[in-house]
Structure formats: structure tokens, C-alpha cells
Amino acid sequence: MPGDARRTGRPSSSIRRTYSAGSRRTSAVNDKSGARSRFTLVRIVLVVVLCAAGLKLVHVQAFEAEALSKRAEQQRTTTIDLPAHRGAIVDRNGAKLAFSVETRTLTVSLRSMREQWNEIARKHPEQGRNFQTRVAEVARFIAEKVPDKTTEQDLLRRFNKPNSFTYLVDGVMPSVAEEITEKYPEIGVEKRAQREYPGGTLAANVIGYANWRMENPDVFKHNLHGLVGLESTRDKTLAGTPGRRLVDTAQGSNSVVMPGSERELQPATAGSDLELTIDSDVQYYLQRELGEYVRKTHAKGGSAVVMDARTGEVYALANDQTFNPNDSDTLTDDLLSNEAVTTPFEPGSVNKVVTAAAAIEYGVTEPDSVYEVPDHVRVADHTVHDAWSHPTQRFTTTGIFAKSSNVGTLLLADKIGPERYMELVRRFGLGQPTGIGLPGESPGYVPPRDSWSGTTFGNLPIGQGLSMTVVQMTAMFQAIANEGLRVEPRLVRATVKPDGTRVPEPPPDTQQVVGPQTAKTVKDMLRAVTQDSSVGDHNDNGTAPGAALDGYQISGKTGTGQQIDPETKAYSSTLENITFAGILPADNPRFVVGVRLDAPDTDNAGPLFHEVASYLAQRFNLPLSDKPAPVVPLIH
């Protein structure tokens, strides 16, 4: 029955099958195969992605790790430059002439400060606080803390610049800067150093001046550097080598250093100290006495040197005026100029020491040889006169130089001859820098032999037609005082390293100018320059009896050199260089003193030498001479 058939589940013959049993089995198989293919594809893609990621990881770790690490490090670290401590400058006794102190310079990021306080004003208008009120408050506080460094008005001007950043004030002591920045965090600081000169003008022309220099684009090289004097010529020794420190900063902020994160990339190496030959007491006395003598004689200026007769060490080197390195208002060109080494002059008769040395060295004459000397002589188309009118007189060789006879000197020079004379000029170091080690040293001028005219050899032996500095002039007499051996003058005795090791300067260059016996003979002859014959003929007086010093033999030589008139460009009849160089004591030389006065109303610098020699004798307890210098005949 149909009902039975429906119950048994058999299909009725009236129901149509749309697919065969075989096709249904095939479809099922295909579905399973597609699923497997998709799964395989996904697995392949995943494998490829994982392999690519693995390869990238290997590449990063193997090839980019260092660069990425550096980049990450840079994002959270800051390099801090460490200025090197500049070495001190001390005198021969250890007294400090220049040293450095650590300071701070206050700065502000105006852009950040404006943004911060404009935002505060916008969010809290009821407080009445803004950029200008904050600036007024900060400027008032800083000016109160450093009244000697700035003013409230100057600070307000700086705060209101259109710049994004500005410096506020230099030379602030670290403790004061810390107080300011704690109260006002927007104020930044930069580490600096400041040079202190406790003596002010004392030896300023020798020491020089150094300040904080920032012109180099490399911040690493910002430091104290010298501008003039030994601060400049010995800058590398004094400056040392700056260092660098790496620190971790919070979120890349340069101002918030993470405690304990500091590590040095390069430690700063302090500079070495300079130990000078200068004696502060002698320098002070020479500066004072020279300045007073220049004022008393109404001179335009003057320079003087005190030199050790044996070693060439300079105990004092002074100009009548100099700058104060602690006072920027005095840093003018005229005061910064060190005329004792930079400004040559025609020396006049003080240069006759060359003729005297050549005449004795080459056997041309003896001290007591006698010459018929008129008061004038013709040289080519010029007539050379003595400084005073006199009949033809019988001068001794000693008298020619003690009385400073131009005519007698030229008679001796003619016997010496130009070639031998020029050889002595070279040995004395004229026309050459002395090597004293100060910037701008002039070599002076000596006309080359092939440029001479007919009158040149009528000028040079009497100190005209050539020029020299006061240091060169003094060095000539140092050679005479030192048995004919010229020693290169020097200002630095030693450097002292940061660990305290003292390193003496290399031995100075020397030049044997004349033999020891010649030097002694010339030195003895020049004692007559200070001779004062209280009995007998006044013709036996030298040109500088005022330079004599009781109890001591003194050798020396005066000089009067004509200056060039700046308007006529010819020799002036009124403008003169007045010079004196002397040896103390003549019988056992210890010091040589050289003096030059620029156009004074006196014709003699001997009295200034006397004052300086008297001080040196007392200061160093120089033994008295065994006997006075003999009074010798100068004119028969």
C-alpha cells in the first residue's frame, strides 16, 4: 500500500531525482579537495610571511643593530661638552698673575617661555599673569642677585628681543646661578670660565688677556682663549684639551639628566701652568718709576727692561701705559700695543757699543789710544757734527765713547770697515727678532749692504739709519755683560703640568758676539760714561754721571736718536729718542737695564736708570763693588 511504502522510507515513483548518486559522491570529494587546497595556500602564505619576518629580523640584528642602537641612544642621550681648566700664569716666585674661575652664563629660550606663559594667560585669565609679568619678575630678581653684572633695564631689553633664544648675563658665580634657576626653571645656564688678573695692570703687556671664545662653529672648542701677550702665544699650553660627557635624559630633554647615567666619552685635560721669569715686585717698581719719569719729562711714552746679565731672563718689561685685563674699557688698540717689543726706534749713540766692540775685537785701537778729533767730519755729501761745538781735541778711545763723540766714532768705524762692522751688527742680533716669545715682535731694521748709499756708513755707527726695540737694545748690553755671549731673552722659565711635574723651557739660543776679553774691555771703558770728575778738568765727565750709584761700578751708554718728523718726513730738530742701557754692577754683572723715552723734554735717561739700579741693589742685596771705578782721562 502506498501508505506502507511511505512508512518504509522508499521513494515514490512519482518523485524525480535531479542528480545521480555518483555525481553526489564526486561533489563531496571535490569540496574536501578545495578545502585542503585553501588550507595549504594559507599555510604557504604564513610560512612565507614568517620567513620574511625572520629574514628581516636577521638583517636588522646582523646589519642594522648598531645603527638602530645609536639612533635610539641619540633619542634619549645628550652630549655635554666639558671645558678644560686653563692653566695659571705665575711669576718666578710663584705669585699668581692670571688664573681661571668657573662661572655660569644665564640663557633663556624666549620661544618656549612665550608659549608657556601665553598658554597660562589663556587658561587662567583671572590670574593676570602673562609673559610680560613673568619677565618683569625674573629680570628684577636676577638684577638683584648680580647687580655688578647687569641691570633690570638691560635684562628687560634682552627678554623682549624677537629672537627665539638669547644670552642674559655672563660671569655669574655657580651658586648664584643655581639659586636663580631653582626659582625660575625657564632660565638656563651654560658652563663657562672667567680669567682673573689679581694684579690688574701689573705685567699686563707681558701676560696678555684671555676671554671666553665662541666664534668656532664646533661647540667642543668653545673655551677661554688668549687674545694678546703670553695668553695668546702660549694658548695651546694653557688651554688644555676639552672633554665630552654622555648623559641619559628624561624623554630626550637636555635639561633633565637621569641620575647615575653620566659616562665620559673623553675626559677634559687641564692646561699647564706657565712659570715666568718676571719678578712681580721688580715689574711693579719698573712700571711705576717709568710712568712717573715719563710724566715728569713730558715724554710721549717710554719703555724699559730689566734683564738678567747671565741668563737673559727678563725680570721686568714695562711700558709707561698698559691695559687692565679686568676692565674691558681699557682694551683699546693703543693700550694693548706692547711697544717694548713691537715698536722699533732709531737708538742714537747707545748703538755705539757696536763700534766700540768691533774696534777692540778687531784690534783697531786700545782704550787709552789717542785720536785728534774735530767737531765735524764730511761723509760723502753730508757733514756729521758732534753734539757740542769744540776745537780739535785729543780724545782717548774711552773718551770717544764716554763723551759720545760722533766724529771720533766714525774715525774708528772707518778703521773697522763696513764688512766687519756689519758682521758685528749681525752677531748682536740687530735686524732679527730676539725670540722673546711675545706676539708682534719687530725685528727692527738694518739696511741691507747692497742698498747702502754714500752716507749710510756715516749713520749706522752712530745709531742712525737703523732701528731696534728696547728689548734688542738691552740684549746687546747683556752680551757685553756676559763675556761676549748673547743669550736669547726669555719670559718663560718652565711649564707645570696638571700633575705638578715641572718642565723647564729648552735652553735659549746663544751667540758669541765677541771674545770674553773684548767684552771686559768694552765694559770697563763704558764705566767712564757715568764718571763724574769732581776734581780736575770737567772734560773727564761722562755723559751720564746721574746714572752712577754709590758703592757700585756702573757701565752704560747714553743715546739721543733723531725722530722722523711726521709732517716733513725728514729728521726732526726737536723730536728725539732718549735712551740709556746700563750694567749693574760693572765688576760683577747681575742685571742689565734698558730705557727708551719717546720725545721727552730731557736729554738723559740716566737718572731713571739710577733709581731702578738702586732698587735692584737693595731688593737683591747685591754685594758692593770691591772698589770704585777708576777715573780715567777722556780728553788730553
Q: Given this model, what pLDDT does residue 174 score?
A: 93
Q: Please list the active-site residues.
A: 349
Express each pLDDT in 369-392 by its tens digit: 999 999 999 999 999 999 999 999
Q: What mean pLDDT is predicted for residues 49-73?
A: 61
Going through 163-236 in order, the beta strands assigned E by DSSP cover 165-172, 187-196, 209-213, 223-228
Residue 310 maps to which CATH number? Answer: 3.40.710.10
Question: Looking at the structure, do residues 225 and 298 belong to the same domain, yes or no?
Answer: no
Residues 288 and 302 sit within 8 Å (Cβ to Cβ): no
| Residue 259 in domain | yes
Question: Looking at the structure, do residues 261 and 290 belong to the same domain, yes or no?
Answer: no
Question: Looking at the structure, do residues 533 and 398 belong to the same domain, yes or no?
Answer: yes
Pick the closest to residue 612 from 316, 345, 341, 203 (CA basis): 316
| Residue 632 in domain | no
Question: Looking at the structure, do residues 228 and 311 belong to the same domain, yes or no?
Answer: no
| Residue 180 in domain | yes
Cα–Cα distances (Å) from 247 to 70, 149, 197, 268, 524, in that order, read 14, 31, 35, 16, 72
Whether the model pTM is above 0.95? no
Q: Given this model, what pLDDT does residue 34 score?
A: 60
Above 80 in pLDDT, residue 16? Answer: no
Cα–Cα distances (Å) from 581 to 400, 409, 482, in that order, read 17, 18, 14
Q: Given this model, what pLDDT does residue 50 score?
A: 73
Lowest mean pLDDT among 241-245, 322-326, 526-530, 580-584: 241-245
DSSP 462: G
Q: What mean pLDDT is predicted for residues 491-500?
A: 96
Above 90 in pLDDT, residue 545? Answer: yes
To the nearest 10°, report the CA torsion of 143, 144, 149, 151.
40
**Would you give the end-to-end CA distance of the chain in angstroms?**
186
Q: Given this model, what pLDDT does residue 294 score?
A: 97
Q: Provide the mean pLDDT of the chain.
A: 88
- H helix intervals, 77-219: 110-123, 131-145, 152-159, 174-183, 204-207
3-state secondary structure of 259: coil
Above 60 in pLDDT, residue 19? Answer: no
Express each pLDDT in 221-230 by its tens digit: 667 888 999 9
Strands 89-90 and 273-276, sheet pairing: parallel
Question: Looking at the structure, do residues 289 and 272 belong to the same domain, yes or no?
Answer: no
Q: Given this model, what pLDDT does residue 267 score?
A: 81
Question: Looking at the structure, do residues 263 and 360 belong to the same domain, yes or no?
Answer: no
Q: How confident is the model at residue 72 (pLDDT cuts 50, 70, 90)?
A: low
Residues 171 and 194 sit within 8 Å (Cβ to Cβ): yes
Q: Round to whole Å and give the CA distance between 208 and 197.
A: 10
Question: Looking at the structure, do residues 238 and 374 belong to the same domain, yes or no?
Answer: no
Q: Which residue has the higher pLDDT, 215 or 408?
A: 408
| Residue 21 in domain | no
Amino acid in position 118: N
Question: Looking at the structure, do residues 183 and 320 belong to the same domain, yes or no?
Answer: no
Above 60 in pLDDT, residue 405? Answer: yes
Q: Given this model, what pLDDT does residue 39 score?
A: 66
Strands 96-109 and 510-512, sheet pairing: unpaired
Express each pLDDT in 552-591 by its tens digit: 999 999 999 989 888 888 888 889 999 999 999 999 999 9
Question: Looking at the structure, do residues 119 and 197 belong to the same domain, yes or no?
Answer: yes
Helix (H) or strand (E) holding 78: strand 77-82
| Residue 633 in domain | no
Total number of domains in the chain: 2
Q: Round to whole Å and give the CA distance between 73 and 67.
A: 10
Range of the domain at 483: 280-324+332-492+502-620
Strands 77-82 and 96-109, sheet pairing: unpaired
Question: Looking at the structure, do residues 338 and 233 belong to the same domain, yes or no?
Answer: no
Q: Given this model, what pLDDT does residue 397 score?
A: 98
Question: Looking at the structure, do residues 362 and 437 belong to the same domain, yes or no?
Answer: yes
Q: Round to whole Å and give the CA distance between 91 and 514.
A: 33
User: Quick one: what percent of the chain has pLDDT higher than 90?
Assistant: 71
